[in-house]
Amino acid sequence: MSSDASQEPQIKFDDFTKVDMKVGTVLSAENIMGSEKLLKLEVDFGSFGKRQILSGIKEWYKPKSLVGKQFAFVVNIEPRKMMGLESQGMILAADSDDSAVLLVLKKKIKNGTSVR
């Protein structure tokens, strides 16, 4: 464990279990007019429904490269308004140097499956 990791604030396990992460398939993705960073995603979470999710990944991903792919999302984060649109979740990504790397599933699974 690096010394940087030991400086991160710790949370209780019960706090972690409050985060609801689910697998969703991107049905559509598009640029948001006037935004240099945001993409608008429509994501299918199966029986959990469809959600609009805005993500600041435009610099690294073209909209059409995301359509039809499954990713992990936080679905119980408080909705947030950006560029006049509401984001109803957050896609999970890892920071790598100067880019965001989306967490892609190796195998297709049922939309709405919980991530743990």
Is 36 within a domain? yes
Is 92 within a domain? yes
> Each residue of 1-29: pLDDT tens digit?
444 556 889 999 998 899 999 999 999 99
Q: What pLDDT is attached to residue 93?
A: 95
Q: What pLDDT is attached to residue 6?
A: 65
Is 83 within a domain? yes
Dmax over Cα atoms in the chain, in whole Å? 42
Q: What pLDDT is attached to residue 5?
A: 58
> Each residue of 33-76: pLDDT tens digit?
999 999 999 999 999 999 999 999 999 999 999 999 999 999 99
Is 111 within a domain? no
Is 7 within a domain? no
- Per the structure, the complete domain to which residue 31 belongs is given by 13-106
- Strands (E) in the chain, as ranges, are 21-31, 39-44, 50-55, 70-74, 80-82, 85-87, 90-91, 93-96, 99-102, 114-115
Is 6 within a domain? no
CATH of the domain at 22: 2.40.50.140
Number of domains in the chain: 1
Is 32 within a domain? yes
